[in-house]
Amino acid sequence: IDFDLLLEKVKDLNLLAGEGISHIEHTPGGARLRQPEPLPLTLYQNGIVMFNGPFRPYKDPSTQQCLQDIMDGYFPSELQMRYPDGI
């Protein structure tokens, strides 16, 4: 795994998701600025952990699909169930 390239792809996706950009959230008493919540992804030499989930080795097919999505410039398809309206 080319970790440098993977990190570059993650940075690109972070920009697409609005990293560092605040959005107006209307509240009953007015409004406040809100930044998108981070999606934790930890890379290890032999696998990943996404959110607070279980350790996923790189040889696992679902991990390979997740990383392939990222390398192709897409948000991981496994996130569609959790974020049906997009990230």
Rounded CA-CA distance 87/82 in Å is 9
Task: Report the chain's mean pLDDT, rounded to a whole number.
Answer: 90
Q: How confident is the model over 33-62, as pLDDT tens digits? A: 888 778 899 999 999 999 988 999 999 999
Identify whether the C-beta of residue 17 lies closer than 8 Å to the C-beta of residue 36: yes
Angle at 3 between CA 16 and CA 81, to 5 degrees: 45
Entry pTM: 0.80
Map out the domains of the chain with their CATH numbers: 3-79 (3.30.420)
pLDDT at position 81:
85
Helix axes 61-71, 3-16, angle to 10 degrees: 70
